[in-house]
Amino acid sequence: MIRVAFYDTKPYDKPSFERYGEPAGLQFRFFETKLNEDTAALAEGCEAVCVFVNDTVSAAVIDKLYACGVKLIALRSAGYNNVDVRAAYGKIHVVRVPAYSPYAVAEHAMALLLTSVRRIHKAYNRTREFNFSLNGLTGFDLHGKTMGVVGTGKIGRVFIDICRGFGMRVIAYDKFPAEGSGIEYVTLDRLLQESDVISLHCPLTEETRHMISAAAIEKMKKGVVIINTSRGALIDAEALLEGIKARKVGAACLDVYEEEADLFFEDRSGHILGDDLLSRLISMPNVIVTSHQAFLTEEALNNIAETTVNNILTCLSGDGICENELCYHCGEDAVCRTHRKERCF
């Protein structure tokens, strides 16, 4: 029996993880609290911890987990910017779920865009009060517009296919273009200048942090729509707010927010929101915010659970080499293992 401390548990997590984990011999200890320095001790007696995007997996937390005997950190997400992978090296292995459902995230990005440009959310609220006026609900066609996609991994490429289905012209920027994909790649500056809509599908790194800055927004078309279903810190939220107030940004569709860690995934409806910036963004009539729910489909939850369970079993089985392991030596997971044909350490 492999014991796993499962942090930041939500009701929708348990069914799929129990379905895949229990027959495989995994015993989950579900905790509602997030992982941090104060809660790391809850993993005492566990071989692995399972964490999500807003858990804190810093060097200090890793040291405490290591002292508790934890051998594996299993991310149930693709992003891992919340994990100090360098500090984990030589102590605790780190694995992730690189692709749970690119369709879930890409479809949510398009749903946000359609809701925004066709004013679906406003019409829904009106008709519930028997207000059937069309005043103020004029949108615009996506057909013929230019979509700029930043990041052409699996999610980005699925999103591109969706946009092409709407008859949009698609241009893209990626530091590592997908060869033979038929995607029209341009420089980031050109993408910012030519796009009617910009959608972010890239990971958060030091290089991409605040890539949508005041300077970047200044280069964009007046009335541009910005979509972010990746990581909040890709956008400088203060610069975005100023761009909206200046009428430079026509609309923003956000499923993520830089300071979401203590807000998203929780019911704050009975509390005063202490984040003034988020409050001001949400108050804008041309901003739609969802609380990091782009991944949340039945298919994605099952894929996350199945992959995470397989990651844990492979890594803790002895000499098993997990293709989803992260190693700071690689920069990109799997590169060094492919060459060495062995575990990271």
Residue with tokens 């809850």: 42
The answer to whether 50 touches 92, Cβ cutoff 8 Å, is no
Collapse the DSSP code of 321 into the 3-class scheme (helix H, G, I; strand E, B; otherwise coil) and give the result: coil
Q: Which two tokens stand for residue 54?
A: 């807003």
Q: 175: which DSSP letter?
A: S
Q: How many CB atoms lie within 10 A of CB 41?
A: 12
Residues contacting 100, CB < 8 A, separation 6+: 78, 295, 300, 303, 304, 307
Q: Which residues contact 277 (CB under 8 A, 6 or more apart)?
A: 237, 238, 241, 259
Expressed in angstroms, the distance from the first to the final Cα of the chain is 24
Contact 217, 249 (CB under 8 A): yes
Active site residues: 231, 260, 292
Q: Identify the H or E element spanning 201.
A: none
How many residues are present in the chain? 345
CA distances from 205 to 79, 86, 320, 329 (A): 10, 14, 29, 15
